[in-house]
């Protein structure tokens, strides 16, 4: 604290000459209308007055900023300090001025006035800025200085597709504005709200803004909404666009900015009633593109060969290789390291450092990609370089400087959903032309680069689609439909989406919600549906959680729901698979993976583990991060349950029905994800869809369970069901009689088996009362 | 269960009824039951299971959800009358296809395979057709082809002669340029490369263009393959850079449109040859057929303009 004061005193002394200059600046006159002794308070008072009392600045102070009529000059003067415009009592720090200098060099800054002119003139604006233009950090600040949301007691929202981006950008902008993160600048992501009543700029995931819209259909808390990275076309961004298209007509005072990194902006313009467009060039260098003369037989092998050849023959510069998934990437990294060691020994190559990069990699590991390339072995020797092997997260979301060579095999793992077999899965698929261009662009961040495409030019033209399919076309829409209903959209059929999904996708979603009793036969929200939509969960999980008190195990189902909402808790490193499996056995419950996960959680919460949870997780091959996250999710969900008065109860552990109750509660949510073992052997067949599936090798379940619920259907060359738990067929008939209306089933093993169960139950029911009588 | 057995039994007796008549013996019966049990108990191979699963999946993927679906009924109540959702005109009506990638073939590999299969099939078909063509037609066609081919060779040769005159080089049509290696090409290239392609006489411009294209191809291959596979002792990045700069300029020019050249290339080989010969005669008093440069315009000893006149 003392140190802080000292620096601020130092600052003030240093700023004296600047003060003198500022005094002559007419735009700063309002800051100096009092004598020196009242400097601080004077500024804050006059600011407060012009901001809160007289938003139009018609007080004594003629040069005060007028909402939606400010200029770049005014804003810059305000930014130049010495006091923080949005926190008038505070002096701006040295670090602030250091960052300010960099900020003024960003490409967007050059067009700040142009931006303001357009922003003031129009309600909706489409803004295109390539990565590196500074749009995500600067545009919201430009808006703040003109929109002056504090004067309206409103906020500016800026949405991001990813949680990490929302957090890190908010942190950066808080620094740039010299405020504490969570005060004037904050963020809001699922299960974490880092804002306060002071907040005027809020970075948030697009999903969070959608959640807010459910309870505030007109988004009245915001004066400007910025949809960033709109080109990524996430599900939530698409829904938000549809929603905001309606909101802007109801709220003429709301301004909307659509920001995109690629030049497909015309589509956005057209969709938003021909909104004007502003484009800012990024800082990019030319990238030379090379194609292969023939299609590749094995794209991974071709990629490795190309990387090594670049290392052997090309001048200094780092390499970025795009592959599809964790396993493929780790494997490639291992092979490149081996081969490059050979090259160093035999061909006097320079050092090559290889880093993997994928979403589930711990942040500390991810951070490594930013380390500098290795130095040559001896001064004057052949230069070292780093090679990053990444999924498509390096395509748009992460910026790595120093990349000069990009190797692009043309594939990525993409989510696909097909309503006909109700499978949502990640599949390796060809990328789009737009993605390929984006990837190539990564080579030109620092200097002219090269992109090696491992396919022919003809294949690029003929085989790749122009734009990637937006997420809304590749997703199960059950939770989206529930959200839309909660958003007050009744006409789902004609809701104006930029890319409406296939009708069958909506059909399935409605059907699922109807079976879950969230929607009635007319398509109206039921009480259960309303309640379920309050939980930021898949409808099946939400329904399971809400109905769990009926099975006396809501505490346990709460834990389980949290565990199912976070990444995999079991860690199975390639080098220690056996040991990891042994550790997993400690927690195994033979009735299934769900129960096993629950055992893990309970063990994790035990006092002995909590002594040193990190070490404990390490020893037991569990992901500390995932468990911690699950803990956090649990807390948030628990709050919602308490608010909505969903009872928290448990069956005593000694009771022999403890686990059975949990399994029954599972059925209440997942009755549509059930498979029955075929009489012929170890394959299972899914109920109703009749797909032949195998239990995923990771399961703890013995092969003798005839009926199972599963959490996930994994589509590969073999169909797997993952995270499975044994259930009894009687429960299915009892807990979800509408779905298990046996008469409606197609003839087959599942039907005859269910009929037997039903008849047996009926007989028993008929006999029991008679016996009692 | 009892039903099933009876079914099987009846089916069996029907089968044997025609050949043996009469009841099956107990030995036969035991053998049959054994066989049937084995059939039932046989565990299908992984391959078979995978195929079955795939077939079931593909069948399901190809089956559209119909009006009996609960969701469809709900949508009907919301006013859905078929077609697409939303308000845009080009919205999709079918779900995105699920494509399972089962190997590591690169982009274009599958269609390359398909193309090869198609080509092979087409070739077989071609052969069939060819056999059907009657002999006269066949002779006619081969003769035409041969003439075409000959005219083309003469045309290139005439072009080279013309080039020789215009650049002051020594080239005479007799030597075939193609047989020369890269060195020859490269040296010719340096002569002409500083000259914009369009300033070259259109009659022999194709010659230079062809050379440039060849050189470009060579360099692209060199960039993609050879430079990548060179040994680590390679230490000359600067030269590479310069080459590329030079190349960059050529590449642009090569891809530019050239209406003059297009016009020429629309003519048949014989017609083009005629034009070049005319140019040679008028400008250089050279007869392509005599292979001789006459001292003056009269070209006295030359029998005529066409090849036939030269016997």
Closest chain B residue to the Cα of A720, Cα to Cα: B53
Report whether pLDDT(A142) > 90. Answer: yes
Say which residues have a Cβ less than 8 Å from residue B40's Cβ, sequence separation at least 6: none
Whether residue B151 lies inside any domain: the answer is: yes
Residues 6+ apart with CB under 8 A from A693: A675, A683, A684, A685, A686, A713, A719, A720, A721, B53
Asked if residue B223 belongs to a domain, the reply is yes
Check B99 against A306: CB less than 8 A apart. no
Task: Over range A241-261, report the average pLDDT.
Answer: 94
> How far is the CA of A450 from the CAs of A131, B107, B145, in angstroms?
18, 19, 45
How high is the ipTM of this complex?
0.78
Whether the per-residue pLDDT at A276 is higher than 90: the answer is yes
From A313, A473, A507, residue closest to B69, measured CB to CB: A507
Q: What is the pLDDT of residue A88?
A: 85
Q: For chain B, where are the alpha helices, taking DSSP H only?
A: 2-19, 26-41, 46-62, 70-77, 109-132, 135-167, 182-193, 205-221, 227-229, 237-255, 259-265, 269-284
At B299, list the tokens: 């070209």
Owning domain of residue B271: 146-310
Q: Is the dihedral of CA A361, A364, A370, A373 positive or negative?
A: negative
If you measure CA to CA, which chain B residue comes closest to A504?
Answer: B65
Q: Is A410 on the interface with B (CB under 8 A)?
A: yes
| Closest alpha carbon within chain A to B47 | A718
Q: What pLDDT sits at residue A548?
A: 96
Query: Which residue ranges of chain B lie beneath pLDDT 50?
Result: 1-7, 11, 13, 15-20, 171-186, 229-237, 239, 244, 247-252
Is B32 part of a structural domain of the chain? no
579-638 in chain A: CB under 8 A from chain B? none
Contact map slice: A 518-557 vs B, CB within 8 A: 519, 521-523
Mutate to test the interface with B, among A504, A519, A682 (most CBs of B within 10 A): A504
Condensed to tens digits (0 to 9), the pLDDT of residues B171-221 reads 444 444 443 334 444 455 555 555 677 778 888 888 888 888 888 888 777
pLDDT digits (tens, 9 = 90+) for A437-482: 989 988 988 889 999 999 999 999 999 998 899 999 999 999 999 9
> Could you tell me which residues are beta bridge partners of residue A129?
A280
The sign of the CA dihedral A247, A250, A251, A256 is: positive
Distance CA A346, CA A349 (A): 8
**Chain A contacts of B98, Cβ < 8 Å?**
416, 418, 421, 423, 427, 715
How many other β-carbons are positioned within 10 Å of the β-carbon of residue A352?
Answer: 25
Residue B138 in domain: no
Q: A770 near A702, Cβ under 8 Å?
A: no
CA distance A188 to B191: 68
Q: Does A422 touch chain B (CB under 8 A)?
A: no
B126 domain-assigned = no
For residue A692, give the chain B residue with the closest CA. B53
Residue of B nearest to A428 (CA): B101
Best CA proximity match to A432, nearest among B96, B224, B57: B96
Chain B CB within 8 Å of residue A505 CB: yes
| Confidence band of A769 (pLDDT split at 50, 70, 90) | low
For residue B229, the chain A residues in CB contact (below 8 A) are 309, 313
CB B86 within 8 A of CB A434: no
* pLDDT at residue A115 is higher than 60: yes
Nearest Cα residue to A410 out of A426, A398, A428: A428
Percent of chain A with pLDDT over 70: 91
DSSP codes of every residue in A405-457: EEEE-SEEEEEEEETTTTEEEEEEEE--HHHHHHHHHGGGSSS-EEEEESS-H
Q: Tell me the per-residue pLDDT of A10-37, one tens digit each, with 9 for 90 and over.
A: 433 333 344 444 444 434 434 444 443 3
* DSSP H or E stretch at residue A301: helix A299-313
Give me the number of domains chain B comprises: 1
As a whole number, the mean pLDDT across chain A is 87
Q: Which two tokens stand for residue A11?
A: 């600052």
Q: Tell me the per-residue pLDDT of A173-189, one tens digit each, with 9 for 90 and over.
A: 999 999 999 999 999 98
User: pLDDT digits over A518-557, tens only?
Assistant: 999 999 999 999 999 999 899 999 999 999 999 999 999 9
What confidence score (pLDDT) does residue A620 get?
Answer: 95
pLDDT at position A43 is: 39
Distance CA A591, CA A202 (A): 45
User: What distance separates the 2 farthest-apart alpha carbons in chain A?
Assistant: 102
pLDDT level of residue A397 (50, 70, 90 thresholds): low
Is B199 a domain residue? yes
Residue A122 scores a pLDDT above 80: yes
CA distance A505 to chain B (A): 7
- The more confidently predicted of residues B239 and A711 is A711
What's the pLDDT at A163?
83
Is B296 contained in some domain? Answer: yes
Supply the pLDDT for residue B205: 85
Residue from B100, B221, B104, B106 nearest A409 by CA: B106
**Selection from A382, A401, A405, A412 nearest residue A309 by Cα:** A405
In angstroms, the separation between the Cα of residue B78 and the nearest Cα of chain A is 7
Residue B45 lies in a domain: no
The predicted pLDDT at position A5 comes to: 42
Q: Taking the C-alpha atoms of A707, A709, A714 and A719 in order, what is their torsion angle to the nearest 10 degrees?
A: 10
Q: Which helix (H) or strand (E) holds A460?
A: helix A457-463
In the predicted structure, residue A689 carries a pLDDT above the cut 90 = no
Confidence (pLDDT) at B242: 53
Q: How far is CA A56 from CA A32, A612, A671, A698, in A?
A: 20, 58, 60, 65
Closest residue by Cα to residue A661 from A524, A560, A738: A560
Pairwise pLDDT comparison (A120 vs B39), residue with the higher score: A120
């Amino acid at each position: 604290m003392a140190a802080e004061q000292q620096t601020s005193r130092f600052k003030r002394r240093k700023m004296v000459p600047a003060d003198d200059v500022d005094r002559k600046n007419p735009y700063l006159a309002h800051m100096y209308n009092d004598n020196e002794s009242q400097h601080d308070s004077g500024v804050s008072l006059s600011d407060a007055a012009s901001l809160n009392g007289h938003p139009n600045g018609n007080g004594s102070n003629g040069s005060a900023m007028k909402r939606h009529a400010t200029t770049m000059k005014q804003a810059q003067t305000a930014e130049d300090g010495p006091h923080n415009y949005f926190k008038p009592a505070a002096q701006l720090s040295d670090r602030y001025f250091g960052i300010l200098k960099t900020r003024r060099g960003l490409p967007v800054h050059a067009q700040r006035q142009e931006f303001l002119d357009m922003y003031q003139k129009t309600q909706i604006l489409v803004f295109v800025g390539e990565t590196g233009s500074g749009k995500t950090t600067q545009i919201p600040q430009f808006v703040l200085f003109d929109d002056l949301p504090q004067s309206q007691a409103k906020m500016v929202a800026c949405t991001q597709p990813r949680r990490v981006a929302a957090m890190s950008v908010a942190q950066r902008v808080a620094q740039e504005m010299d405020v504490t993160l969570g005060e004037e600048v904050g963020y809001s992501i699922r299960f974490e709200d880092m804002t306060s009543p002071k907040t005027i700029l809020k970075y948030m995931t697009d999903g969070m803004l959608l959640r807010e819209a459910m309870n505030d259909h007109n988004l009245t808390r915001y004066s400007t909404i910025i949809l960033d990275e709109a080109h990524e076309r996430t599900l939530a961004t698409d829904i938000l666009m549809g929603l905001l298209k309606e909101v802007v007509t109801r709220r003429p005072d709301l301004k909307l900015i659509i920001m995109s990194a690629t030049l497909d902006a015309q589509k956005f313009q057209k969709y938003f009633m021909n909104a004007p467009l502003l484009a800012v060039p990024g800082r990019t260098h030319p990238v030379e593109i090379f194609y292969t003369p023939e299609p590749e037989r094995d794209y991974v092998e071709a990629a490795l060969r190309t990387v090594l050849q670049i290392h052997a023959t090309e001048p200094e510069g780092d390499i970025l290789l795009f592959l599809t998934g964790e396993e493929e990437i780790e494997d490639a990294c291992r092979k490149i390291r081996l081969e490059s060691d050979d090259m160093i020994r035999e061909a006097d190559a320079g050092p090559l450092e290889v880093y993997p990069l994928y979403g589930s990699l711990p942040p500390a590991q991810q951070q490594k990609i930013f380390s500098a390339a290795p130095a040559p072995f001896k001064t004057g020797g052949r230069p070292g370089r780093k090679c990053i092997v990444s999924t498509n997260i390096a395509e748009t979301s992460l910026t790595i400087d120093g990349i000069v060579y990009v190797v692009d095999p043309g594939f990525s793992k993409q989510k696909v959903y097909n309503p006909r077999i109700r499978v949502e899965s990640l599949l390796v698929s060809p990328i789009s032309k737009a993605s390929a261009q984006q990837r190539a662009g990564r080579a030109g961040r620092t200097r002219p680069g090269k992109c090696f495409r491992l396919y022919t030019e003809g294949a690029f033209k003929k085989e790749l689609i122009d734009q990637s399919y937006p997420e809304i076309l590749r997703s199960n829409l059950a939770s989206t439909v529930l959200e839309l209903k909660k958003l007050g959209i009744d006409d789902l059929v004609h809701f104006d989406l930029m890319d409406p999904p296939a009708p069958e996708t909506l059909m399935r979603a409605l059907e699922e919600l109807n079976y879950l009793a969230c929607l009635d036969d007319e398509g109206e929200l039921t009480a259960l549906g309303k309640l379920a939509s309050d939980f930021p969960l898949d409808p099946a999980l939400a329904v399971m959680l809400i109905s769990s008190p009926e099975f006396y195990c809501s505490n346990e189902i709460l834990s389980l729901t949290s565990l199912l909402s976070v990444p995999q808790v079991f860690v199975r490193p390639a080098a220690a698979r056996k040991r990891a499996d042994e550790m997993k056995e400690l927690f195994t419950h033979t009735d299934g993976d769900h129960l096993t996960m629950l055992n893990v959680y309970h063990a994790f919460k035990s006092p002995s583990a909590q002594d040193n949870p990190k070490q404990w997780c390490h020893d037991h091959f569990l992901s500390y991060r995932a468990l911690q996250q699950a803990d956090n999710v649990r807390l948030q969900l628990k709050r919602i349950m308490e608010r909505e008065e969903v009872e928290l109860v448990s069956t005593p552990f000694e009771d022999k029905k403890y686990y059975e109750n949990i399994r029954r509660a599972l059925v209440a949510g997942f009755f549509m994800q059930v498979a029955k073992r075929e009489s012929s052997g170890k394959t299972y067949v899914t109920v109703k869809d009749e797909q032949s599936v195998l239990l995923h090798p990771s399961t703890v379940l013995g092969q003798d369970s005839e009926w199972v619920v599963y959490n996930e259907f994994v589509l590969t060359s073999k169909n797997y069901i993952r995270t499975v738990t044994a259930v009894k067929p009687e429960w299915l008939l009892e807990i979800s009689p509408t779905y298990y209306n046996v008469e409606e089933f197609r003839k087959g093993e599942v039907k005859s088996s269910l009929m037997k169960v039903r008849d047996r139950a009926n007989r028993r029911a008929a006999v029991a009362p008679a016996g009692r009588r | 269960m009892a039903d099933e057995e009876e079914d099987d039994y009846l089916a069996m007796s029907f089968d044997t009824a025609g050949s043996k008549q009469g009841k099956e013996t107990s030995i036969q019966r035991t053998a049959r039951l054994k066989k049937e049990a084995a059939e039932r108990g046989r565990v299908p191979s992984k391959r078979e299971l995978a195929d079955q699963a795939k077939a079931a999946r593909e069948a399901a993927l190809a089956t559209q959800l119909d009006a009996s679906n609960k969701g469809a009924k709900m949508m009907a109540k919301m006013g859905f009358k078929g077609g697409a959702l939303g308000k845009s005109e080009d919205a999709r009506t079918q779900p995105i296809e699920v494509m399972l990638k089962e190997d590591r073939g690169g982009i274009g590999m599958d269609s390359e395979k398909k193309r090869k299969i198609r080509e092979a099939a087409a070739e077989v078909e071609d052969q069939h057709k060819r056999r059907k063509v009657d002999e006269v037609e066949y002779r006619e066609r081969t003769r035409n082809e041969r003439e075409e081919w000959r005219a083309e060779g003469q045309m290139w040769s005439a072009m080279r002669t013309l080039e020789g005159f215009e650049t002051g080089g020594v080239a005479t049509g007799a030597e075939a340029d193609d047989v020369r290696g890269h060195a020859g090409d490269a040296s010719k290239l340096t002569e002409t490369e500083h000259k914009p392609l369009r300033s070259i006489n259109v009659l022999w411009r194709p010659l230079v263009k062809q050379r440039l294209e060849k050189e470009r191809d060579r360099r692209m291959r060199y960039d993609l393959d050879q430079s990548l596979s060179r040994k680590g002792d390679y230490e000359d990045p600067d030269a590479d850079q310069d080459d590329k700069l030079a190349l960059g300029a050529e590449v642009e020019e090569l891809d530019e449109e050239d209406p003059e050249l297009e016009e020429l290339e629309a003519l048949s080989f014989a017609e083009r040859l005629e034009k070049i010969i005319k140019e040679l005669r008028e400008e250089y008093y050279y007869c392509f057929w005599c292979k001789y440069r006459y001292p003056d315009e009269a070209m006295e000893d030359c029998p005529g303009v066409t090849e036939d006149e030269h016997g």
